[in-house]
Amino acid sequence: MNNQSAYENVVVALPDYAVAAISALEACGYEAWCVGGCVRDAILGRDVNDYDIATNAQWADTEKALTAKGFTVHRTGVKHGTVTASLDGHAMEITTYRTDGEYSDGRHPDSVEFVSSIEDDLARRDFTINALAYHPSRGLLDCWGGLGDVDRKTIRAVGDPAKRFREDALRILRGCRFASQLGFSLEPATKQAMWSCKMRMAHVSSERITHELTELLLGEHVHDALMECIDIIGAVLPELVAMKGFEQHTPYHIYDVWEHTAWVVQRSPRTPLARWAALFHDGGKPGAFFMDGDRGHFFGHPLLSVDITRGALARLALSPAFVANVLTLVQLHDRMIPATPKGVKRALATLEGDVELFRALIALKRADALAQSSLSEPRLQLASDLETVLEAVLSTEDVFTLGQLAINGKDVMSLGVPEGPGVGDALAQALDAVIDERVPNERNALLSFVAESATLTSN
């Protein structure tokens, strides 16, 4: 523990509402500091959205002091000494200094003890870069060398790292997430403890794991984090481990499957859909791999990737609609789509007219090509051409969904096609004919086409 208490040259510009909360508490004789990630991010020059305050006031005293100064206070976690205070639309969590008791479930403390010292409160936190406190007049309080670790871009546990992770296994994924968001590296002893304690994450809820993994994937430095943390996150996503070190033996690839995947994630749009699809798009390659002479092949790997992705995402707290979209992108990421109006419209029809999903597919194809060798430059150009053609198609009244057809199911049944799958098949054939420009999207022309097709089928 570093007892050096303040760095006078560090100045953190706190927002007025945070200063007002600290002032309100101290006017009543209490002590208060801004703590944790908000201090870290302010020092790094990152945007700060959430300010947390720690105080020696009990929650009821905090509520009384802040309410008197015009704050709205909600009792969001009084068992652990926490209230949420809002002023002019800005909310802050304010928590009484505390130390945590035993963590028998490996996630939540069995009990908390409220203490009078900010130093004791900082000692219970996960990483040194989060064990920082700042006061508008007293400056920065750094008991654990967090500022030095910020400068060194290092993620280091407070105290004994194994103890920290045995207390709360979610901290293991939090460390990986911070690596991705901040571009920091894991300190060796901390990384070793994360690795050795990783199976304790089996006790963490799927909701919390899903949140941390998604935030990790959205990080600015996700490639480096995935490369460093694969042996850790493999405990919650074991489907990824087979990609590590799996050489592709093809001139189109300059990385093994895992590093290729990490680069595809990095170069995909920073949205959950794009990043989750990128993470699993080549998950089936190790299973599909075979050698033909000195050349590696992965025929059919998207189908295996879909099965692997479905199994992995079923364990997470993701909506069925989101999972369905991820599976669609994984399935189609390697499918050749001609950069022609017909090719684009046919792809849109496959996606039931979901234009944004098609944009996401193009983005995945671009990221995939960017993570390959220079031989894949034609695929990169194809992605740009698909975007150009898509915009041209959207600027017209071209038809690419069943709903845009000039006929519907009732029209088909009026021709004698019985209710059931045959109606959908007839409409799908009509859409194909319109996309291929064999039949105009006009009611009479489509009815004639369906009637003729039905006659030929019956014969």
pLDDT in tens, 111-129: 689 999 999 999 999 999 9
Distance CA 264, CA 287 (A): 20
Answer yes or no: do 384 and 283 share one domain.
yes
Answer yes or no: do 410 and 394 share one domain.
no
Amino acid at the residue 281: H
Distance CA 411, CA 407 (A): 6
| pLDDT(7) > 60 | no
Q: Is residue 250 part of a domain?
A: yes
Amino acid at the residue 179: A
Answer yes or no: do 393 and 408 share one domain.
no
Amino acid at the residue 24: A
| pLDDT(203) > 60 | yes
What's the CA dihedral at 42, 48, 50, 53 to 10 degrees?
20
Answer yes or no: do 192 and 285 share one domain.
no
Q: Is residue 346 part of a domain?
A: yes
Q: Is residue 1 part of a domain?
A: no
| pLDDT(146) > 60 | yes
Higher pLDDT, 254 or 452: 254
Amino acid at the residue 236: V
Answer yes or no: do 323 and 294 share one domain.
yes
Choose one of 180, 211, 232: the last residue of a domain. 232
* 183 Rama sector, left if φ>0, alpha if ψ -120 to 50, beta otherwise: left
Choose one of 152, 170, 204: the last residue of a domain. 152
User: Can you give the pLDDT at residue 9?
Assistant: 72
Answer yes or no: do 246 and 385 share one domain.
yes
Neighbours of 199 (CB within 10 A): 11
Answer yes or no: do 337 and 425 share one domain.
no
The pLDDT tens digits for 230-248 are: 999 999 999 999 999 999 9
Count of structural domains, the chain: 4
* Average pLDDT estimate for 41-59: 95
Residue with tokens 């042996």, as numbered in its chain: 231
Choose one of 372, 400, 428: the last residue of a domain. 400
Residue with tokens 């022609």, as numbered in its chain: 340
Answer yes or no: do 20 and 63 share one domain.
yes
Q: Is residue 343 part of a domain?
A: yes
Judge contact between 25 and 65, C-beta under 8 A.
yes
Judge contact between 97 and 118, C-beta under 8 A.
yes
Q: Is residue 434 part of a domain?
A: yes
pLDDT-above-70 percentage for the chain: 95
pLDDT confidence band for 421 (50 / 70 / 90)? very high
Answer yes or no: do 396 and 261 share one domain.
yes
User: Can you give the pLDDT at residue 453?
Assistant: 81
CATH of the domain at 32: 3.30.460.10
User: Can you give the pLDDT at residue 3?
Assistant: 43
The pLDDT tens digits for 310-366 are: 999 999 999 999 999 999 999 999 999 999 999 999 999 999 999 999 999 999 999
Answer yes or no: do 177 and 146 share one domain.
no
Beta strands in 56-195 (DSSP E): 72-77, 82-87, 90-96, 98-100, 112-114, 132-135, 139-142, 154-155, 185-186
What is the span of the domain harbouring residue 319?
237-400
Q: What totals of helices (H) and strands (E) does the chain contain, helices first?
A: 21, 13
User: Can you give the pLDDT at residue 10?
Assistant: 83
Give the orientation angle of helix 222-233 with respect to helix 170-182, to 10 degrees: 160
* Average pLDDT estimate for 252-262: 97
Please, which residues have CB within 8 angstroms of residue 260's CB and are 6 or more apart in sequence?
A: 248, 253, 282, 371, 372
Answer yes or no: do 192 and 74 share one domain.
no
Q: Is residue 53 part of a domain?
A: yes
Answer yes or no: do 61 and 180 share one domain.
no
pLDDT confidence band for 24 (50 / 70 / 90)? very high
Q: Is residue 11 part of a domain?
A: no
**pTM of the prediction?**
0.92
| pLDDT(2) > 50 | no
Beta strands in 261-356 (DSSP E): 290-292, 295-297
Q: Whole-number mean pLDDT of the chain?
A: 94
pLDDT confidence band for 5 (50 / 70 / 90)? very low
CATH of the domain at 364: 1.10.3210
User: Can you give the pLDDT at residue 105?
Assistant: 53
Q: Is residue 9 part of a domain?
A: no
